[in-house]
Structures are given as structure tokens and as C-alpha cells.
Structure 1
Amino acid sequence: MPSGQRAQWKGFLRFGEVSCGVALYTAASTSERITFNTINKATGNRVNRIFIDSETEDPVPKEAQTKGFEIDNGQYIIIDPEEISAAMPESNKTLEIEAFIPCSDVDDVYFDKPYYLTPDKMGGDA
């Protein structure tokens, strides 16, 4: 297990009747990635992102924001984060291997962000 790095996901890897606990880690670091800020050309100052109410034009603080789905022009169904969590399907956190294929058969789009699996101490059915 990599020291100092936190697993992105933990679960089980299953080969037929045999399963073992695994942890998924990102294989590429983003710590050396160059990031840019948005700058006001006229002043050279950094620009802050502020959310504005579309009708009142008043700033809306983060704690007053929520998610919604538009059902008609300007009419929304408000959805709380708890409702979104409840709508997510249950996962048994098991990666089930059904077959192995040659790497050349995998479309490059699936290699956008590399990951690797390591053994984990999660569970005891291995």
C-alpha cells in the first residue's frame, strides 16, 4: 500500500468463488500539474467566482445553495443532497472478473486516467 496516499475506492476483487479485499489508487500524480487562476486583465487581480440569484441579482452564499431540476420554464423541483444519496443504487463493492482480453482490444478512452489495485485488509473471505 502506498504510504501517504489515500485509496480512491475499497472493495473486493472476485475470481469465481475466490475474492480478496483490494484498494484502488490513482497511478498518476496531479501534484506537478500546472493550474491557472482567472485574472482580471485590467487590474491583474485574481477573479473570485460568486453565485448570483438570477432574479434579485444578490450574491447567494454556499450554505444557501442546493440542487434543483427544471420541470418547466423557471419552475424547479428542489433536491436535497440526502435525496440524491438515497437515490443512488446500493453497491456490493465487488469487481467481478468475467474474462481477460488482450490490452489492444481496449479502447484508448479507458486509459484516460490510470489506476492500480493493491491488496487491502478489508474483509476476510480471501
Structure 2
Amino acid sequence: VYGTEIFPTGAVPIELRPVVRGLIGEDAETLVHLFGTVSRAGIFDAAFEGAPFLLETRTGGQVGITDQQYTDLAVLTVANWLEQRPRFPESSRNSRAREFRTMRQFLPTTPRQALDEAYRFTPLTQPAT
């Protein structure tokens, strides 16, 4: 909605955050805003660093997020990539495998299984919480 690193022009100007929040609720709008403002590298780096989660923003700042917000951002990141992945050249479809492999521990079952299938990862022995 507000744009991302790759698509910096959003569909809705940032000034309309209160309107979006009123439509989808505070938690969902916060997640949408985070997804648009944090760097993808920051999301991947946080998988290696673990909690407490401090993510880099696209403007060079940092934002602290909760464990649940990190899980939600990880799910969005995985869903976003898996949706785009078939349109990429075969040679690029396994990019970020190391990062996604590490991120799996923070994912709920369904997105983790989709990622495992796409990358042919060996399933985790312990389910994520």
C-alpha cells in the first residue's frame, strides 16, 4: 500500500495512514507500514540475529518490533517471494536460500511448508511456535 524497497511508489500516500488504519485496524496497518518501510536485508538479517528484533528501515534508521510482528513480516516476505518466484529466471529462483532457511524457524506451519517445498528444504523437526 505504501510502497516497498523495490516498488517505492505506493498506492496510498503515507499521510493517509489514519484512513488505512480505520479500514483494516491498527495491527494490520502497522504491519503494512513496517513491510513498506523496513529493508528486506533487515528482515533477513533479523532471522540470523533473533530477538529482540531491531530492523533497519529503508531510510537508514532502525525500528524495534515484537516477536509476533517479526513472524508476520517473515510470512509476508515469504508469501511475496513465492508469489513472484515463478516469473524469475530458473537461475534466480533459489536466491536467498540461506536467509530463507534460517527464517523458517520463525514461520507458522503453512508458510514454512510452502517454503520447504519451493526450496526443497528438509522439514524442521520442531514446529515453529
Q: Give the TM-score taking structure 2 as reference length.
A: 0.19
**Normalized per residue, which structure has more strand?**
1
Higher gyration radius (CA)? 1
**Normalized per residue, which structure has more helix?**
2
Comparing both chains, which one has the higher relative contact order based on Cα–Cα distances under 8 Å and sequence gaps of 6 or more?
1
